[in-house]
Amino acid sequence: MAEEVPSASYIPYVHSQTLTSHAHALSSLKFSSDGRLLASASGDQTIRTYAINLKGDPIAEAAQVFTGHESGISDVAFSTDARFIASASDDKTVKLWDVESGSLIKTLQGHTNYVFCVNFNPQSNMIASGSFDETVRIWDVTTGKCLKVLPAHSDPVTAVDFNRDGSLIVSSSYDGLCRIWDSGTGHCVKTLMDDENPPVSFVRFSPNGKFILVGTLDNTLRLWNISSAKYIKTYTGHANSQYSVSSAFSVTNGKRIVSGSEDNCVYMWELNSRKLLQKLEGHTEPVMSVACHPTENLIASGSLDKSIRIWAQKK
Amino acid sequence: MNAPIIDPLQGDFPEVIEEYLEHGVIKCVAFNHRGSLLAAGCADGSCVIWDFETRGIAKVLRDNDCAAAITSVSWSKYGHRLLVSAADKSLTLWDVSTGDKIARTTLQQTPLHARLNPGLSSPSLCLACPLSSAPMIVDFEIGCTTLLPVCVPEMPDVLAPPQRSKCAESGPPFSPAAACFNKCGDLVYVGNAKGEILIVDYKSVRVLALVPVSGGSAVKNIVFSRDGKYLLTNSHDRIIRIYENLLPAKDVLRSLEDLGKNVDGVDGVEKMKTVGSKCLTLFREFQDLVTKMHWKAPCFSGDGEWVVGGSACKGEHKIYIWDRAGHLVKILEGPKEALIDLAWHPVHPVIVSVSLTGLVYIWAKDYTENWSAFAPDFKELEENEEYVEREDEFDLMPETGKVKVSSVNEDEEVDIETVEKDAFSDSDMSVEELRYLPAEPIPDTNEEQDELKLIEARISASPASEEAVQNGHVTDLVSSPQGEMGETRGKRKRKPSEKAMELQAEKAKASKASGRTVREKSRAVGDQEIDESVNGGGDDDDDAYY
């Protein structure tokens, strides 16, 4: 099933840089929407940002370190204008940081268990966070107040994401369900589930908000159509049965799905044909998180081996 | 936007008060083009802009020169500018994103309504309707005001621009008139005291057409629907009339000129009327036959399907909703505070009403939980259905096993990038709309951070010790954070029922200490209901006595 079928026009990615600034496993990586910064969150209780210089060598240079959390961090997210970063941590809080200065602005209290995932809405006036306490909370960025508590799932919430106009939130959980919520009212709009419900480890909206990419702990990635509530694509070949491995859409050079894997590689499939295009090898431990640069053909991957690897297309 | 997913069967008008917003004494409200921001003018001369999604204050526009009550607020089409008219006869134009004053003029009389030209992206041209004289066009750039004709003189020569003195002779003195721009902003529709609608080209200051309103009573309000297809007039005879706009959306001036040329044989006022009959036709009339009340702030819903009018008779707060066919579908009744202004959200079935006490009430649909959204194979039944089991239902090996149909054609092309054109972008996309004001997080102060650490430590503690500890420790920290939080956080409360809210407000203010602990406790538990937390506060008081 997992043959490497390189099509004639496919230019493979090659390893460009390795960053080893963290002292503990990497949990999450995100590029800012203007592509100038990369943020990484780690179990060493810090978040780090790197400036991305596409013409430079090395491409990524360390910029800031954010300290203040009292426990490991599971997720990090940029606001749309890249002025703020939100981080979700095992100390049950979400913290809001200023990107330029690295200082802590606000602490959002309310969750009663580890906060696992966090994301800004496109307008960046609200933050959604999912936690081991089985709820999703929506916070007001200006005041830090919790606007809504969604009784989302019956197991830890593993991922939250907003769609492109910020009107919908998708949440996934180990209970095997993906739920779609109206972000304004907090009401559940839809639940997506199949006959077998393997724990869902990751979910995100497609760029146009019509589809969601769902990663489940049965080594499968699926693309679901929200309105028909059925999945239309399946991607296999990688290993994902233990960790919350993240995946991403790559649209800068043909439509692709990129995902981390527990066999230490980064997998890339073609979206429509589902063919495996490339396996990026180099990490020595499971790859937990991947991020695709918004405009350039650049992929960043973070792994349990405490390193971040940057992959660029061969010139 | 999410139309395909959300249930279309739910009716499109609000039913209950969801929340209220407070910031000083509010006098008037206006939504921006998309309904993401709500601007409100206060009695102290400042203007507050709420982020309607988070219901938090996004900006406060304060002019130190102006301390008079605001009479109206109006957004520019793309939301970059806000026009504010105040009781000290001034008109101020603000830049919303920077919060700076762009221009300010003073008129002869206090403008009751002022509207920015909806056709221009950065308008500096506006229409102001003063209390006791003709409506005028104010141009901020050139700095001049042009009076608009309120009546058609009974003379053949209609082309001469009427001056102020002329109007004073032919029309009744102090004739208030209502006026509004049409959708593309090149015509002004004036409703005068004689009960006529005049279509005026404000650039050449000419009356192009005239439509007499049946009944001939003074027109108090005149409003277009959002798509420009319907016009609403509210007259002194307590009837709301809906007219259908027959003119095309674009190139209106040319069509009017053509209509004027095609009319032969008549001249002067008759010609105006003939042209007018081709511009507007009466569609419906609404009135309350029982109480015959005066309507306040009538307007259309965002999609033009509903018409809403407010009533402030006898100090009540009632909102009447009709469908466009003329049937009264709902009467919303609010608390016993007279209604002074009303606005319908451009997109959602939400109404915002302002009461005499200065509170802004938000009306929304009463939500009934949709259980099939939580479990897709859960069917909600209207009534009990008797279940008849199959022959082989209880067989150990049923004949027809469940056949898993995986008829998914995974080879189909999937498009993850194209986005459909937004139904609400009824304009060219060349100008970027200001939909949101960037959120500026208010930094936690050191005291707040210490307090939060205390709370955090207590989250794991048992409830009994929690209360005792809270009473002891938090009392010290009450004074300063309380003050700060009161200012920085705009007041928001949920589901007020008049008496209950008054009681809660008293309790919270009187016993600051318990009110404070209660708020922290409620946050720790993650509970939003104020009802419960106030009752919890009562228990705290008891503990303190031991």
Pick from B419, B435, B455: which is nearest to A109 by CB? B455
pLDDT score recorded for residue B470: 42
Closest to B311 (Cα-Cα) out of B328, B326, B291: B291
The residue that leads in pLDDT, B166 or A181, is A181
Residues 165-184 of chain A with CB under 8 A from chain B are: 165, 167-168, 179-180, 182-184
By Cβ distance, the residue of B373, B452, B526 closest to A149 is: B526
The pLDDT of residue B531 is 41
- Summarize the confidence of residues A235-244 as an average pLDDT: 92
Q: How far is B54 from chain A (nearest CA, A)?
A: 6
Give the pLDDT band (50/70/90) at residue A238: very high
B2 to chain A, any CB pair closer than 8 A? The answer is: yes
Q: Does B374 contact A179 at a Cβ distance shorter than 8 Å?
A: yes
pLDDT digit string, tens, across residues B503-541: 555 554 444 444 344 344 434 444 444 444 344 333 444
Omega of the bond leading into B118 within 30 degrees of 0 (cis)? no
DSSP class of residue B436 equals -
Mean pLDDT of A103-120: 94
Residue B273: its pLDDT value, please?
A: 81
Write down the pLDDT at residue B451: 60
DSSP code per residue over B521-540: HHHHHT---HHHHHHHHHHH
Question: What region does A65 belong to: left with phi over 0, alpha with psi -120 to 50, or beta?
Answer: beta
Q: Is the pLDDT of residue B185 over 50?
A: yes
Q: Rounded distance, CA A131 to CA B209, Å?
A: 64
Residue B266 in this model has a pLDDT that exceeds 70 = no
CA–CA gap between residue A200 and residue A190 (Å, rounded): 16
Distance CA(B394)–CA(B515), nearest Å, equals 60
Which residues of chain B have a CB within 8 Å of the CB of A128? Answer: none
Do the beta carbons of residue B307 and residue B286 sit within 8 Å?
yes
Instruction: Find which of A255-264, B53-62, B122-131 is predicted with most confidence, using mean pLDDT.
Output: A255-264
- Percent of chain A having pLDDT more than 70? 97
Q: Check CB contact under 8 Å for A143 and B442.
A: yes
What DSSP character marks residue A311? E
| Inter-chain CB proximity A168 and B415 less than 8 Å | no
- CB contacts of B376 in chain A (<8 Å) are 190-193, 229
pLDDT at residue A119, as a whole number? 95
> Residue B9 pLDDT more than 50?
no
With contact defined as beta carbons under 8 Å apart, do B108 and B130 qualify? yes
pLDDT of residue B483: 37
Structure tokens at B431: 């100008």
pLDDT of residue B502: 52
Give the mean pLDDT of A53-63. 85
State the ipTM, two decimals.
Answer: 0.82
CA distance A209 to A226: 9
pLDDT digits (tens, 9 = 90+) for B203-213: 888 888 888 88
Contact B442 A272 (CB under 8 A): no
- The predicted model gives B100-124 an average pLDDT of 83
Average pLDDT for A83-91: 94
Residue A202 at interface with chain B, using a CB cutoff of 8 Å:
no
Higher pLDDT, B284 or B176: B284
Query: For B330-347, what is each residue's pLDDT tens digit?
Result: 888 888 888 899 999 988
DSSP bridge partners of B530:
none
Closest alpha carbon to A215 in A165, A262, A281: A262
- Residue B400 is predicted with a pLDDT of 55
Summarised one tens digit per residue, pLDDT across range A1-42 is 444 444 557 788 999 899 999 999 999 999 999 999 999 999
What letters, b where the CB count within 10 A reaches 16 and e where it falls short, cover B345-360? bbbbbbbbbbbeebbb
Q: How far, in Å, are B196, B240, B293 from residue B290 at the CA level? A: 26, 15, 8
- Cα(B424)–Cα(B33) distance, integer angstroms: 9
Q: How many angstroms separate the CA atoms of A149 and A167, rounded?
A: 16
Q: What residue spans of B150-280 are helical by DSSP H?
A: 164-170, 252-262, 268-277
Taking an 8 Å cut-off on Cβ atoms, the answer to whether B417 and A251 are in contact is yes
Q: Under a CB-based contact definition with an 8 Å cutoff, are residues B86 and B69 in contact?
A: yes
Neighbours of A227 (CB within 10 A): 12
Helix (H, G, I), strand (E, B) or coil at B75: strand
Among candidates A135, A140, A191 on the partner chain, residue whose Cβ is nearest the Cβ of B375 = A191
DSSP string, B78-130: TSSEEEEEETTSEEEEEETTTTEEEEEEE-SS-EEEEEE-TT-SS--EEEEEE
Q: Which of A77-81, A290-294, B283-287, B456-460 has the lowest mean pLDDT?
A: B456-460
Q: Residues B321, B325, B328, CA angle at the centre, nearest 5°?
A: 30
Interface membership of B418 toward A (CB under 8 Å):
yes
Taking CA atoms, what residue in A is nearest to B367? A187
One-letter amino acid at B219 equals V
- pTM score > 0.90 for this model? no
Q: Which two tokens stand for residue B110?
A: 């206090």
pLDDT for res B407: 59
> Chain B window 425-484: which residues touch A at a Cβ cutoff of 8 Å?
435-436, 438-444, 449, 452, 455-456, 459
Residue type, A160: V
Kindly report which listed range (A102-106, A242-246, A281-285, B193-197) carries the lowest average pLDDT score.
B193-197
Checking phi first, is residue B384 left (phi over 0); if not, alpha (psi -120 to 50) or beta?
Answer: beta
Decide if pLDDT at B77 tops 80: yes
pLDDT of residue A199: 94
CB pair distance less than 8 Å for A208 and B419: yes
Six token digits for residue A314 = 């061969």
Inter-chain Cβ pairs, chain A and chain B, closer than 8 A:
149
B155 is written with which tokens? 């003379």
Under 8 Å between Cβ of A124 and B439: yes
Per-residue confidence (pLDDT) for residue B279, from 0 to 100? 82
Of B66 and B83, the structure prediction assigns the larger pLDDT to: B83
Whole-number Å distance between alpha carbons of B61 and A125: 20
Do the Cβ atoms of B416 and A124 come within 8 Å?
no
Contacts of B443 in chain A (CB under 8 A): 105-106
Residue A98's nearest CA partner among A87, A84, A86, A112 is A84
Give strand ranges (E) for B304-402.
Answer: 306-311, 318-323, 328-333, 339-344, 351-355, 360-364
Closest CA to B199 of B237, B164, B138, B243: B243
Count CA within 13 A, CB hemisphere, residue B535. Answer: 5
Decide: helix, strand or coil at residue B463.
helix
* CA neighbor of B258 nearest in space, from B303, B323, B215, B209: B209
Could you say which DSSP state residue A218 is in?
T
Strand partners, B429: none
Q: Tell whether the model's pLDDT for residue B252 goes beyond 50.
A: yes
Structure confidence at residue B518 (pLDDT): 38
**A254 pLDDT higher than 60:** yes
Give mean pLDDT, residues A75-85. 94
- pLDDT band of residue A285 (cuts 50, 70, 90) is very high
Which of A81, A183, A188 lies closest to B373 in CB terms?
A: A188
Closest Cβ opposite residue B418 in set A84, A187, A208: A208
Number of H helices, E strands in chain A: 0, 28
Cα separation, A173 vs A121, in Å, equals 20
Q: Is the pLDDT of residue B398 over 80?
A: no
Choose from A21-30, A246-255, B178-187, B537-546 the range with maximum mean pLDDT: A21-30
| Whether B415 contacts chain A with CB within 8 A | yes
Q: Which residues does A112 contact at the CB level (< 8 Å), separation at least 6? A: A92, A131, A133, B459, B526
Please determine, for residue B161, whether its predicted confidence score (pLDDT) is greater than 50. Answer: no
CA distance A250 to chain B (A): 11
For chain A, first and last CA: distance in Å? 30
Name the least confident of A188-192, B290-294, B320-324, B505-509: B505-509
